[in-house]
Amino acid sequence: MLGPHNVCVVYLQMCVIVNRFMVAQVACLLAQDRWGPRCIIPRRVCVVVLLSVSFLLQFRPQMYDYHVANHELDMDVDCVICMSEIPAGISSTDRMTAPCGHVFHTACLERWLAIKLECPSCRRSLPPVRELD
């Protein structure tokens, strides 16, 4: 039978476990905020006996190159995020093209994707911006 002292010990142990779990969650969120949301997914994995690298890497999200060099603008378009014009002759580093074909300023879309991985024009789901390895 549990006495009052035993209940307090069990309750204290549960509080410590929950507290450690919450600290681990906060640490994970802070790491993702500082180093990006993919920081906890391994980039290069040592070969483990039963798991191959290709098996583990299939769980990483597919990356898309938003700076498509061969996609040239025929005419001026408007960035729907900042509502200013994107000139036709702008370089591919100053503009980003989403998989759905919509074009945005690089700074505008990077700020947008930090908040929401969705196209501002058509609301299609977008992949994360490619990280430099």
Q: What's the pTM?
A: 0.54
When pLDDT is averaged across residues 112-128 and rounded to a whole number, the result is: 88
**pLDDT by residue (tens digit) across 35-51?**
877 677 665 544 443 45
Superfamily of domain 62-133: Zinc/RING finger domain, C3HC4 (zinc finger) (3.30.40.10)
For the chain, the DSSP string reads: ---HHHHHHHHHHHHHHHHHHHHHHHHHHHHHHHH-TTTTS-SS-PPPSS--HHHHHTTSPPPB-SS-TT---SS-EE-TTT--EE-TT--TTSEEE-TTS-EEEHHHHHHHHHH-SB-TTT--B-PPBPPP-
Token code pair at residue 13? 């142990």
Tell me what the pLDDT averaged over the chain comes to.
78
CA distances from 78 to 66, 104, 110, 127 (A): 17, 8, 16, 22
Residue 83 has pLDDT above 70, yes or no: yes
Domain positions in the chain are: 4-57, 62-133
Token code pair at residue 117? 């991985």
**pLDDT by residue (tens digit) across 6-38?**
667 778 888 999 999 999 999 988 988 888 776
